Structure 1
Amino acid sequence: MDIDFTNYLPIAAAIISATLGYMFGIRTKKNDRLIQLTQENLKEVFSPMYHEMKKIFTDSLKPKDRELMLEKFFEKYIGEDTPVYKLGDLELLDTFYELNDKYEQFKLLRKEELWVEFWWEFEFKLRYKIKDGYRNSTNLLYRDFTWQQYIQAKPYWMKFYFESMKFLFDTTKGINVISIILVYFSGCFKIFDLGLFPKDFWIFSLMILGLSVTATFVLMMPNIQYITLSSNSKQSLLRQVIKKMIPKVLLKWDNLFIKRNYDNVPKMYEKKLFED
């Protein structure tokens, strides 16, 4: 079947131009706002909470010292001037407040089972989410930090080469997404005979997708240094994709294999006297 590409090029060019214009233009202000908020919550909440929790989980801590640190932790982030709202996650905030209530209940009744239940949720719910938020925020802010350090030390012509290859690589990845959308909708319109696109536009979309995917793989080689230096995560590519697309499914999958093993729960502080 002969396809006259000239019939489809204006349509494809218009769609790709509009989408790329949105991706690289309109979203800039939103991204700037995101970076600003991320800087604030990393500095004022995620980083302090994460490192305070690391100290609380120190194995060598005495039970009394651990409880005193827990006391300071909740007092700091439950006060009226708390920056905890900058976590920006209602589910995470609910987890924090529920744990604070459980800790208050434990202090009142001082029962072993309450301590064990509280500690498990403190470790596998709050600490897990705070660590995840800390790593995500750091990755967002410093994703290209090592890469920029690398190219800034290069001669001008090499810097221009690396930046050009990165631009082409990012552009082809964007075209891949657009091409998949074009294939999906043009195929659906063809199946249901809606006639919105030209008759063989879906075949043309498949060709564009094939070319863009091929170009992406070809551009991976000159961009291997960028891919390596801009990847701050040790997780597999598949896990990163799943985490980005369907994070709640990944969290449920991870929790599926987490059994409530209370063997590692530290010993509670056996407070005997009111003044103790």
Structure 2
Amino acid sequence: MEIDFTKYLPVAAAILSATLGYMFGSRTKKNDRLIQFTQENLKEVFSPMYHEMQKIIADSVKPKDRESMLDTFFERYIGNDTSIYKLGSLELLDTFYELSDRYGQFKLSRDEGLWKDIWWEFENNLFFKVKEGYRNSTDLLYRDFRWQQYIQAKPYWLKAYFESMRFLFETVKGINVISALLVYFSGCFKLLGLGLFPKDFWIFSLMILGLSVLATFVLRLPNMQYISLTSNSKKNFLRQVAKKVIPALVVKWDNLFIKKDYDKVPKMHEKRFFED
């Protein structure tokens, strides 16, 4: 069966140009807002919180000093003028507030078992999440910076080459998404007997998708440095999706394999009655 591609090109070109224009325009505005918010929460919350927690969990800290530092830590971020909301994660905020409440209970009971559980949650849960947010925010802010820093030292012709390859790579990735949507909708309309698209447009869309996927793989080679400098290899995409869709199941799954080891919990401060 022969397909006359020329009659489909105007339709495909119109859809591609409109969608790409919308995607790139919308993406630019969203990226600008994202960078602004990330700069604020990194400077005002993530960075000071992360480095303060690093000092608290240091092995060289004495038990009395550690408890005093914990007092200051929770008082600072639980106060009326706190900027902790700029963490931007309800999960992280819930973890902090729950741990703050439990720490308040410990201050009244001085129970060693409660102390061990609080410390484990502080170091292995709260600190882990703050560290992850700190690293992700830093990576986001300086991702393009690393790439620009890399190409600025190159000759102008090589710089133009790298930028052209990057543009083609990003454009083809966008075409992959659009082509996949065209295949899906044209296939559905064809099965339903709707004549919204021209005849055999589904086959044409499928061929475009195959070519764009092939082009993506081909363009990965000249863009290896760009991919390396702008990617965050430590992100587990499937886990991130699961945490959004089925967070309760992820927690239960983690609890099956995560055992709270209290052997490394630092000794709690043995507070005497004559102390303040």
Structure 1 match to 2:108: 108
Structure 2 match to 1:55: 55
185-194 or 203-212: bigger deviation: 185-194
The question of 1:186 aligning with 2:186 is answered: yes
In the TM superposition, what is the alpha-carbon distance from 1:156 to its structure 2 partner? 1.0
Structure 2 match to 1:206: 206
124-133 or 246-255: bigger deviation: 246-255
SS of 1:225's partner is helix
Identity of aligned residues (%): 73
The question of 1:14 aligning with 2:10 is answered: no
Structure 1 match to 2:197: 197
Give the counterpart of 1:241 among 237, 241, 244: 237
Structure 2 match to 1:87: 87
Structure 2 match to 1:168: 168
In the TM superposition, what is the alpha-carbon distance from 1:16 to its structure 2 partner? 1.5
Q: Which deviations, in whole Å up to 9, do the C-alpha atoms of 1:33-85 show, x marking residues without a partner?
A: 11101000001101111111111111222211211111111111112221111
253-262 or 72-81: bigger deviation: 253-262
Partner letter of residue 189 of structure 1?
F
Partner letter of residue 226 of structure 2?
Y
160-169 or 144-153: bigger deviation: 144-153
Structure 2 match to 1:96: 96
Q: TM-score, normalised by structure 1?
A: 0.91
Aligned CA distance change for structure 1 residues 210 and 259 (closer, same or farther; 3 Å): same
Q: TM-score, normalised by structure 2?
A: 0.91
SS of 2:8's partner is helix
Q: Which deviations, in whole Å up to 9, do the C-alpha atoms of 1:207-243 show, x marking residues without a partner?
A: 1111101111111111112112223x343xxx54325
Partner letter of residue 93 of structure 2?
L
Q: Which deviations, in whole Å up to 9, do the C-alpha atoms of 1:117-169 show, x marking residues without a partner?
A: 21222223211221111111111111122211111011111111110110001
75-84 or 4-13: bigger deviation: 4-13
Q: C-alpha root-mean-square deviation of aligned residues, in Å?
A: 1.9
Structure 2 match to 1:37: 37
Partner letter of residue 68 of structure 1?
S
Residue-pair matches, total: 272
Partner letter of residue 183 of structure 1?
V
In the TM superposition, what is the alpha-carbon distance from 1:255 to its structure 2 partner? 5.3
Q: C-alpha separation between the residues in 1 aligned to 2:256 and 2:24?
A: 39
Which of structure 1's runs of 4+ aligned residues deviate more than 6 A? none
Q: C-alpha separation between the residues in 1 aligned to 2:240 and 2:17?
A: 25
Structure 2 match to 1:70: 70
SS of 1:144's partner is helix
Aligned CA distance change for structure 1 residues 246 and 183 (closer, same or farther; 3 Å): farther
Q: C-alpha separation between the residues in 1 aligned to 2:54 and 2:193?
A: 60
- Structure 1, gaps ≥5 residues long: none
Structure 2 match to 1:275: 275
Partner letter of residue 242 of structure 1?
L
Partner letter of residue 19 of structure 1?
T
- Structure 2, gaps ≥5 residues long: none
